[in-house]
Chain A
Amino acid sequence: MLDRNYIGHTFPAHSVPVEVGRLKFFAQAVGESDPIYHDEEAARAAGYRALPAPPTFVFSLNLAGTDLAEKYVPMGIDLARLLHAEQQFEYFSTICAGDVITLESKVADIYDKKDGALEFAIEETTATNQNGELVAKSTQTLVMRNG
């Protein structure tokens, strides 16, 4: 059972430098063919300050240095029964290599369906850059399968 006392819980904020090597590794791992995600010159030619972080990378920044079990087990999540149900991003500017992103997350809601067979947790995250500008918001819906 998810602990509903965690509704409104905020996880400790953390700051993560956006590293070139990490972005290149990510681009390679997802088979990205667009050179702007691999090559600084191509990125600059396309108008970016440096290698851009791809659209879903905010999610990875939020995971950086996070032990999933440490983060989620206390609220009743079992990693073996956990699935990602939904993910939404909103973008205000493009995160690039060299940025330092501060992530702040909270549990926005916990609810169940099918008499508790499925339990959902919604985590909302804001990503702010080194200049204090909000660059992205992320909303992830996690589902625990209890059936």
Chain B
Amino acid sequence: MTTLDFDSVSVGDELPPLEKPPISRTTLALFAGASGDHNPIHIDIDFARAAGMPDVFAHGMLGMAYLGQVVTHWVPQAQLRRYGVRFGSITQLGAQITCTGRVLEKFEDNGEQLLRLEVKASDENGDVKLAGQAVAALN
């Protein structure tokens, strides 16, 4: 990872996008185990159908983990101060998520030089699944 310099970063700069493989049932089973979110709506099609859903669907936190990678691959995690998202719509099985980000604002707070990043995760149809902001410090 190249070290970012506050002065060389500009508002509007885009982070390198990150493309994830299609979300499969295996993805969801592994994420349920690894994340500790065992809500059956994500892994048990019988439960999902009984709840009126056509099928299981992805954990919101899977998308948030994906989207976090676009940030931490650009700025080291130790420099991350805040990260938040709103979940816009359900991420369906098979969705192919692309994560993008750009620099929204440069500011200083509490003696730190900070970047506010806008981040979003979209599926293969361009539907935004989750979107939010991250704040990272640059030294």
Binds A, one of B4-12, B37-45, B100-108: B37-45
Minimum Cβ distance to chain A for residue B40 (Å) = 7
> What total of chain B residues lie within 8 Å of the partner, measured CB to CB?
43
**Contact present for B78 and A48 (CB under 8 Å):** yes
Partner of B36, one of A63, A88, A94: A63
Cβ of A60 within 8 Å of any chain B Cβ, yes or no, is yes
Contacting residues, chain A, for B115 (C-beta < 8 A) = none
Minimum Cβ distance to chain B for residue A93 (Å) = 8
Name the residue on A nearest B38 (C-beta): A68
Minimum Cβ distance to chain A for residue B96 (Å) = 12
Cβ of A130 within 8 Å of any chain B Cβ, yes or no, is no
Contacting residues, chain B, for A82 (C-beta < 8 A) = 39, 41
Q: A84-B60, A87-B61 are in contact. Are A32 and B35 (CB under 8 A)?
A: no
Name the residue on A nearest B69 (C-beta): A32
Partner of A80, one of B20, B50, B78: B50
Contacting residues, chain A, for B69 (C-beta < 8 A) = 30, 32-34, 54
Q: A84-B60, A87-B85 are in contact. Are A56 and B68 (CB under 8 A)?
A: yes
Contacting residues, chain A, for B20 (C-beta < 8 A) = 31
Partner of A54, one of B1, B21, B68, B86: B68
Contacts A28-B34, A87-B60 known; list 13 others, CB within 8 Å. A25-B30, A26-B34, A29-B27, A30-B65, A52-B78, A56-B65, A64-B36, A84-B60, A87-B64, A87-B87, A88-B83, A89-B84, A91-B80
